[in-house]
Structure formats: C-alpha cells, structure tokens
Amino acid sequence: MSQLRDEWNHIINGKFIWLMLTVPLIISVVFGYVFKNGQINEAPIAIVDMDNSAYSLQLINKLNASQYIDVSGIYHNSIDPNKLLYNEKYVGVLYLPEGLETSRLQGKQTNVGFYVDMALPAATGNVRSGVTEVLSAENSAYALGRIKATGLSDSQASGTISNMAIQQRLLYNPTNDTMSSSVIGFVNTIMLSLLSGAVLTIVPRLREEERLKNALDNPIGIISRVLPYAVIACAALYLSTGLLKHFGGLRFEGNVAQVSIPFLLFTISASLFAMLLGWTAPTSAKAGGRGMLVILPAFLLGGVQSPVMMLPDPLQRISNLLPITWHFKFIRGVGLRGGDLRYFIPELGGISLLIVGLLIGIFLLILKEKKKLESFAAEEELDLMPDLMKESAAR
C-alpha cells in the first residue's frame, strides 16, 4: 500500500490527471461536433443532358429525389467533366447521351456515363450507390412494362425479371458514419498515448531517484503503482465516450455498467504493457521515447485504421498481444452492437490471459533486476575489501 500511496501522490503533484481528463474530453467534443454529420447525404452532382427530352427531365427529377444526390447543375451542351470537377463544386458528372428517350422506346441499350471525383472518396461512396439504385429501378420498371405487355400478371412479370429478391438490413452503423470508426479510434489512440507515456516512466523514475532497490522488496507494490493510472484512464474513457455520444451522435448501445469491466481490463492491461516496455530504460526521458512502440503497433495492428481480419494471418495472431485489439472488440461488440457481456466470455478470457502474461513478464524483470542489483552490490563489496584490509593493517 505504501508504494500505491507514493504513486498516487506523484500523480496528484503531476499533470497526468489534468491531461487524462481534459485532452480526450476536448478532442471528443471537437471531433464529435466536426464529424457529427458523418456522411454527405446530398452530394452535389452535375448532369450533362444532351438528350433534353421529357424522359431525361423525368430521370433527372428521380435522381434529385434520392437522399444521396443533389442535382446542383444541369448542362445541355457538351462539356469536359474535368472543368466541372476541378473546383470541387461537384463530386460527380452524369452524362445523358443524345437519343436516350428514343433508345428507351425502341428497347435499345444506352450507355450513360458517370464521372466520379475519387480524390474525395468519403464524399462519393453514397452518391455512387444513389445513382446505381435509381438507374436499376428505371431498368426494372422498363423491363416490367415490356413483360406485362405479353399478358403476364404483375406478380408473374416481377418473378420473371427477378426470381429472387434480397432484402437488406444495415445493422449497427447503417449510415456508415465515421464517428463509430475513425473518430472513436483516434480518441482512444490519444488516450492510450497519454496513459502509456505516464506509465512508461514509473520504473525509470524510481531508478533515477535511487528508490528502485527498496521497491523491489515488494513486487506487488511495484505493480500496484499502475492502478491509479488505470482507474483515471477508465474514468476518462467513460467521459469521452459519453461526450462523443452527446455531441457527435455516437451509436453506443451497450450497458453502461457492464462496459466498465472491459474498459478497466483494457486500461490495466495497457498500463502493464507500458510498464513492461519501459522497465529497462535508464532514465524517464529515454522511457518516454518508447511510446512509439505502443502507438505504432496499436495503430497498424489493433483495428484502429483497418479491420484486424484484413491483416495477414501471422499479424492477426500478433495483434492479440496488444491490449487495444481487445478493447476495440469490446467497443464494437458491447458498445456499438449492444451485446450482453455474457456473449464475450472468450474475449474476456483472452484479455485476462494477456494480463497474466504481462504480469509474468514483469515478475521476471523484477527477478532479473534484483539479481543485477545484488551482483552490483557484491562487486562493490569486493572493491572495498582491499581498502578495508589496508586500513586494518595500518591500525
């Protein structure tokens, strides 16, 4: 308990609490507000209508009625699409060729050109889907009318065109907003950076202050020093998630009480991971430089930037050694999907095994450090023996 109180006093006199409870909260509010819309539902496009017919006008109105499309400009003369896309006034240009209505009446295929500005991929994903949906509906309606003319009923005609229909339900993040992916990933990475940066320096600080030798007599005491950091970080996770939900509309469906368990397991495992990495650093300054050994693997392998399932199989296995990998599994499973904690026994077991492995690693480092200090003390005694013998002979 004495080491725990000592570490708590160090935290109170430092900046960790202030940083941990303010930086993530500010980031959550700012990013939650900035990315509140999450997607562009009314993406502006230009239409070059070379047909200028009643049907082309009807088609344009249907496109403009889509929730994903805003027909912001209509041109009736041939124009280079680059000139319309250069200044980001539009994200796409749709070409309706001359003879569109005539070809439709004659049952001939018509090629409609759609130029999409992929310099802005986040802005064009939904508009592409919107144009495809409208044109697919037009094709189905045209084919249905032609088949019904043969005498088939509505049901028979629909079955002839599409014998099997798929009904989709987009779950958990139906609007594909970035709040549930990029923003929450960035906020949690910042929190991991702050937590790791503080815990990395615990052992090197004790070494600099020449208190490590005494601390090693109580291994549990050394490990308990990470608990205040873990508890404060867990509280910061709660607050930042709440602010993202309030200001950014984050779809967090999990049980507030249940999610505290994986949150605390994450902050404890992340703290132990940082202590393990920073143990051998000779000074606090050099320990702080090891922060990239936490952040870079977390960013690349932890599911922050891309799903873990996209990684090669060896890297997927390595990612299980990172606390943030398990953390994002809980965020998505419990938080975003609203799953009960009892469905995540394997994940709870996985992060618990990781904690056990980290504890074993730290205990091995403690034993190694004690042997090193004992060896160093023995060498000092041997060095002092000749001097003591000389003093004794002189007397």
Reading the chain (395 residues) residue by residue, the pLDDT tens digits are: 788 888 888 888 888 888 887 888 787 777 666 666 555 668 899 999 999 999 999 999 999 998 889 999 999 998 988 889 888 789 899 999 999 999 888 878 888 989 988 876 667 777 888 888 888 888 777 766 666 566 666 565 555 554 444 455 666 766 566 666 678 888 888 999 999 999 999 999 999 998 888 888 888 999 999 999 999 999 999 898 888 888 777 778 888 889 999 999 999 999 999 999 999 998 988 898 888 888 888 888 888 777 788 888 898 899 999 999 999 999 888 888 888 899 999 999 999 999 999 999 999 999 998 888 777 766 655 555 555 455 555 55
Distances (CA, A) of 223 to 205, 271, 274: 14, 10, 12
What the block records as the tokens of 379 is 């060498």
- The structural domains of the chain, with segments of one domain joined by +, span 2-35+177-382, 43-161
Q: Would you state the pLDDT for residue 300?
A: 86
Q: Would you state the pLDDT for residue 164?
A: 47
What the block records as the tokens of 265 is 């397991």
From the list 171, 350, 198, 182, the residue with the least C-alpha distance to 262 is: 350
> Which fold is adopted by the domain 43-161?
abc type-2 transporter like fold (3.40.1710)
Helices 16-34 and 2-13, packing angle to 10 deg: 60
Kindly report the number of other CB atoms within 10 A of residue 334's CB atom. 24
Q: Would you state the pLDDT for residue 163?
A: 47
Q: Which residues pair with 73 in a beta bridge?
A: 46
Residue 321's contacts (CB-CB under 8 Å, 6 or more residues apart) are: 354
133-161 CB burial, b ≥16 within 10 A, e <16: ebbeebeeeebbeebeeeeeeeeebbeee
Contact criterion met (CB below 8 Å) for 323 and 270: yes
Sequence-distant contacts of 351-354: CB under 8 A, at least 24 apart: 351/262, 351/265, 351/266, 351/269, 351/323, 351/326, 352/265, 354/269, 354/320, 354/321, 354/323, 354/326
Q: Would you state the pLDDT for residue 35?
A: 61
Q: Would you state the pLDDT for residue 13?
A: 83
